[in-house]
């Protein structure tokens, strides 16, 4: 991969880590949050697979198989969102580099900056929604999955919650100064509601995992 290239959904974890560690804003925190949520989805896959492999959990085999399939889809989706966020921030970087000597140039520069930030906010909205699904699946595995993997399932919820907090914060930051009549004006309120649900799942996962010693 070229030194300044944006990683894709098929890039290695090493490539992602190296790219995020560069002295640029792209890829940045938004991509890192999506990658963290991707790891959370992978842990849900693991715990669901372990649950489905044990005959003693036959009553929840179908639920575990469905959770595994959905978690796999979310893992792939989050990798795509990580790359999309990096592309959006690259657009913001390019806008920052535009000339601003005249009123027209400044107006064009601000317009492109705002467009890139709105795109990034939309991407993080989708990351937050995916985090909500991952957290719910992880909590289900804490509640009903294989007991020996309960701590792992809780870890999936914790990772998803951390990524959700990052996504909600990114939405707020990216939409600073957004007009009250903008179609994006309601993003913050919706993000707060989604984050609250994820954090409730996190608290419940911690309670259950602690109670079981998992």
Contacts of 1 (CB under 8 A, 6+ apart): 7, 11, 15, 19
> Does residue 25 contact residue 14 with C-beta atoms inside 8 Å?
no
User: pLDDT, tens digit, for every residue of 180-209?
Assistant: 888 898 999 999 999 999 999 999 999 999
Mean of pLDDT values over 91-105 = 96
Question: Helix, strand, coil % (nearest 5) of the chain?
Answer: 80, 0, 20
Q: What is the DSSP string of 105-116?
A: HHHHHHHHHHHH
DSSP state of 100: -
**Domains assigned to the chain:** 25-212 (1.20.120.680)
Q: Residue 126 half-sphere exposure, CB side, CA atoms within 13 Å?
A: 19
Q: What is the dihedral of CA 156, 158, 162, 164, to 10 degrees?
A: 60
> Does residue 71 contact residue 134 with C-beta atoms inside 8 Å?
yes
Neighbours of 183 (CB within 10 A): 9
Residue with tokens 């994820």: 198
> Does residue 51 contact residue 60 with C-beta atoms inside 8 Å?
yes
Mean of pLDDT values over 91-99 = 96
Quote the pTM value: 0.93
Q: Which two three-digit tokens encode residue 189?
A: 């309120």
> Does residue 152 contact residue 46 with C-beta atoms inside 8 Å?
yes
Residue 212: pLDDT over 70: no
> Can you tell me the distance from the alpha carbon of 196 to that of 201, in angstroms, rounded to the nearest whole number?
9
User: pLDDT, tens digit, for every residue of 15-31?
Assistant: 999 999 999 999 999 99
Residue with tokens 């993003």: 187
User: pLDDT, tens digit, for every residue of 142-155?
Assistant: 999 999 999 999 99
> Does residue 208 contact residue 142 with C-beta atoms inside 8 Å?
yes
Mean of pLDDT values over 3-9 = 77
Using DSSP, state whether 58 is helix, strand or coil. Answer: helix
């Amino acid at each position: 991969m070229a030194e300044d290239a944006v990683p894709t959904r098929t890039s290695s974890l090493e490539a992602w880590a190296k790219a995020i560690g560069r002295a640029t804003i792209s890829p940045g925190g938004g991509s890192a949050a999506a990658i963290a949520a991707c790891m959370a989805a992978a842990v849900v896959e693991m715990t669901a697979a372990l649950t489905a492999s044990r005959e003693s959990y036959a009553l929840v085999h179908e639920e575990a198989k469905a959770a595994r399939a959905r978690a796999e889809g979310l893992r792939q989706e989050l990798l795509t969102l990580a790359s999309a966020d990096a592309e959006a921030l690259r657009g913001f970087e390019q806008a920052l580099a535009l000339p601003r000597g005249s009123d027209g140039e400044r107006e064009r520069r601000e317009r492109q900056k705002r467009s890139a930030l709105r795109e990034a906010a939309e991407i993080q909205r989708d990351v937050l929604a995916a985090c909500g699904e991952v957290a719910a699946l992880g909590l289900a595995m804490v509640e009903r999955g294989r007991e020996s993997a309960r701590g792992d399932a809780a870890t999936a919820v914790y990772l998803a919650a951390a990524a959700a907090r990052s996504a909600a914060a990114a939405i707020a930051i990216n939409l600073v100064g957004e007009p009250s009549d903008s179609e994006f004006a309601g993003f913050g309120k919706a993000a707060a509601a989604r984050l609250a649900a994820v954090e409730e799942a996190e608290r419940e996962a911690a309670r259950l995992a602690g109670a079981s010693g998992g």
